[in-house]
Structure 1
Amino acid sequence: MEDARTPIQESIDAEALAPVEAVVRGAGTSFYWAMRRLPESKRRAMFGLYAFCREVDDIADGAAGVAEKMEALGRWRGEIERLYGEQPRDPVTRALKRAVEEFGLRKEDFRAVIDGMEMDARESLRIADMDELDLYCDRVACAVGRLSVRVFGIDDDIGLEIASALGQALQLTNILRDITEDAERDRLYIPANLLSAHDIPAGDISAVLNHPRFPQVCDTLAAVTRRRFDQAKAAILQCDPDKIRPAVMMMEVYRRILDKLAHRGWLNLNLPVSISRPGKLWIALRYGFFP
């Protein structure tokens, strides 16, 4: 049973949550569709997680210099320490305070997300091999998954499996979708050893993306992504459907994005791929309301 909240505590919660909910609603992402039917306490927790991720991601992707980005991310490390100690100061961590207490969210997972953002905050980014790509995905996506399954109420034994498989699948889909956008920031997440296996020199990004064998590399990474989706689905089938619906909805949206990417092919990387609003609504109806 939840601890009783005083009127003052409830007022503080509401004050902290208002800007967080505004961030989520204004983002126009699949996340809002997936989380909107959660019970209030879980929805608030997930909105807080989203807002935290959005804050640190905006720092990593921003126009500031590397030193400024690292300093800003360092401030967030301090804010996470306050979240688990003294009263946090930022509206986002204030909104997360109750979620940490209620759902047992772990500090190391918040730290891991910041570690991942520090990788993105460099002037340029190259990934050496699949082990480094796995580490990156674990930090920026699977760590968020570990926090999320605790909010959903999934047992750790199966929850950690879902967080790993689905988190990596979602992030690999993002990587395949955003290749040209990332290239503009001098980021290439395709592992150098995978490029080398297809005799593609891991030098200039433009040359890599326009290499005639680059589509084969994307097909290889897409196959890895599909396997991770399949592993996530197998684990999800072992869960209470009511608890895991948000993860199922995210999985279905991103599987469709991956399918659209494969259908588009890898020769015209500038052609955008997304799921329409009616498509998201259908997924919300199909997987949000029915077993």
Structure 2
Amino acid sequence: MDFHQYCEQKAAPVGSAFYYALRGVPISGRRGIVAIYALSRELHEGLDECSDATIAEAKLAWWATELDRWAAGRPEHPVTKALHDAVPQDTVTREQLQEMLDGVEMNLRHARYNDFKGLRLYCHRHGGVAMQLAAQMLGCRDKQTMRYAHELGVALSLSELVLEAGAHLRKGIVYWPVEDLQRFEVPAADLLALKVHPNLAALVEFQLARALTHLSDAAKTLPPAAEARSLRYGRILAAIAGATLGEVKAAGANCVLNQRVSLTPIRKLWIALKTR
């Protein structure tokens, strides 16, 4: 397996939303975008799931060094090798990749986000930066386009935090801000125990509404037609995320604790085909 195949299996496994969204990416730009999202996944899987703080710190330091090697043209990891091979050096900066790594470090340093401002910063680093980098790789330069890409990335991250809430809680991670838990009087301990608190539905519905509002607000910043076409894959991801959040709402907000709601592959394909 070469490093580009490695990235495809990491970022766009068959049947995933990203797998179908890639239909909206010109063939010439796919490898670079896949490499960026594979890097994001590699960082989060390798560090978020590390229970030993000392090992996590060592991995964080290794990745910082690996980003330096990438910037120097000497990457060692399959993902950074793919990025080096597919993306011109002046398209992506070392500082932008560091922001992605900083997002993972936020998880290691902060057990809770006190307010939405803190959570939004995480979503900026986790989703907003990656979407902006993808836009750059596709030749987008318009300021409105970059704003759209960023806000869409933030919205997709917020959506993921709802859809993956159960999985995160099983790992001992509560992403929803303390101020939200206090507002709805849902103890973090109940969430971590996967206990259905009487106010849980109201809390989840609030998070659902926030994610859907951000998806809607991002769509309002769509750039001029030519550059909007370049980011069709992002609109596909947004459409799939919106439809999946709708399924959560229909199934009942409490379902996020004990099941992962997902669309069927054929429905994802249909959404990808009809999103223009």
TM-score, L = length of structure 1: 0.84
Structure 1 residues 20, 181: closer, same or farther in 2, change over 3 A? closer
- Map 1:1-291; keep pairs closer than 5 Å: 16-24=3-11, 26=13, 28-63=15-50, 65-101=52-88, 104-121=91-108, 125-206=111-192, 210-236=196-222, 238-240=224-226, 241-269=228-256, 270-287=258-275, 291=276
Structure 1 residues 231, 25: closer, same or farther in 2, change over 3 A? closer
Structure 1 residues 37, 136: closer, same or farther in 2, change over 3 A? closer
Cα distance, 1:59 vs structure 2: 0.5
In structure 2, the residue corresponding to 1:272 is in which secondary structure?
Answer: coil
Q: Which amino acid aligns with 2:57?
A: M
Structure 2 residue ranges without an equivalent (≥5): none
Cα distance, 1:284 vs structure 2: 2.0
> What's the Cα RMSD here?
2.4
Cα distance, 1:69 vs structure 2: 2.0
Cα distance, 1:156 vs structure 2: 4.4
In structure 2, the residue corresponding to 1:267 is in which secondary structure?
Answer: helix
Tell me the distance in 1 between the aligned counterparts of 2:157 and 2:59.
Answer: 24
Structure 1 residue ranges without an equivalent (≥5): 1-13
Give the greater-gyration-radius structure (CA). 1
Cα shift readout 1:233-285 (whole Å, capped 9, x = no counterpart): 12225342431211111111101111111111223331331010110110121
Tell me the distance in 2 between the aligned counterparts of 1:36 and 1:112.
Answer: 27
In structure 2, the residue corresponding to 1:47 is in which secondary structure?
Answer: helix
Q: How many residues align?
A: 274
Cα distance, 1:42 vs structure 2: 0.6
Structure 1 residues 41, 74: closer, same or farther in 2, change over 3 A? farther
Tell me the distance in 2 between the aligned counterparts of 1:118 and 1:102.
Answer: 25
Q: Is the 8 A contact 2:166 2:259 kept in 1?
A: no
Task: Say which structure, 1 or 2, has more relative contact order (CA 8 Å, 6+ apart).
Answer: 2
Cα shift readout 1:23-55 (whole Å, capped 9, x = no counterpart): 345464211211145333310101111221221
Q: Is the 8 A contact 2:73 2:84 kept in 1?
A: no
User: Hey, which bits of structure 1, 4+ residues long, moved more than 6 A?
Assistant: none
Q: Is the 8 A contact 1:99 1:105 kept in 2?
A: no
